[in-house]
Amino acid sequence: MKHRKIIIYSQLFLLFLFVFTSCGVYSLSGASIQGKTINVPGFENKAANVVPTLATNLGNKIRDKILSQSGLTAVNNSDVDYVLKGTIINYNVSISGVSSNTSASQNRLTITVEIEFINNLNEKENFKTNFSRYADFPASQNLQSVENRLIETIGEELADDIFNRAFVNW
């Protein structure tokens, strides 16, 4: 009798898990996603310092993060559950560290994006906000020699931040 109850409970749990995951509200990333489609149009670059490939690379990184973590399908029309628009508003290099002889020892690349997230299923979750991340590099290196690596690192961090804000609600 006890063995039979365990089997029944196990089957109920598996049925519940199947129904719950097929409805699109469960994700291994911790996200609660009700919809099925998203539109992530190309990012626009309005930063004073323009890197020609930055908007495309950053937009693709964020789109890929969302698609891989959410199970959503990318659609290029306006009849979607979610829309995520992005604009690069700052791409700046500054001094972040000074050595004992008052010369720069570290530089910092900062990228800021303005994100507008539209949730057509629940308008209370819409937002428009800025996300900013940076990475430091030795002042002895020129930006061009480390730029691709820094953009990659910053892009991953921005993608995580944006995904979490849009779908994990932190």
Q: Can you give the chain as a three-state secondary structure string?
A: CHHHHHHHHHHHHHHHHHHHHHCCCCCCCCCCCCCCEEECCCCEECCCCCCCCHHHHHHHHHHHHHHHHHCCEECCCCCCCEEEEEEEEEEEEEEEEECCCCCEEEEEEEEEEEEEEEECCCHHHCEEEEEEEEEEEECCCCHHHHHHHHHHHHHHHHHHHHHHHHHHCC
What's the pLDDT score for residue 80?
96
What's the pLDDT score for residue 65?
96
Q: Tens of pLDDT along 4-26?
A: 555 554 554 544 444 444 444 44
Q: Tens of pLDDT along 86-101?
A: 999 999 999 877 666 6
What's the pLDDT score for residue 163?
96
Sequential pLDDT tens for the chain (170 residues): 655 555 554 554 544 444 444 444 444 445 668 899 999 999 999 999 888 999 999 999 999 999 999 999 999 988 999 999 999 999 999 987 766 666 668 999 999 999 999 999 999 999 999 999 999 999 989 999 999 999 999 999 999 999 999 999 65
- Record the pTM: 0.78
What's the pLDDT score for residue 105?
82
What's the pLDDT score for residue 99?
63
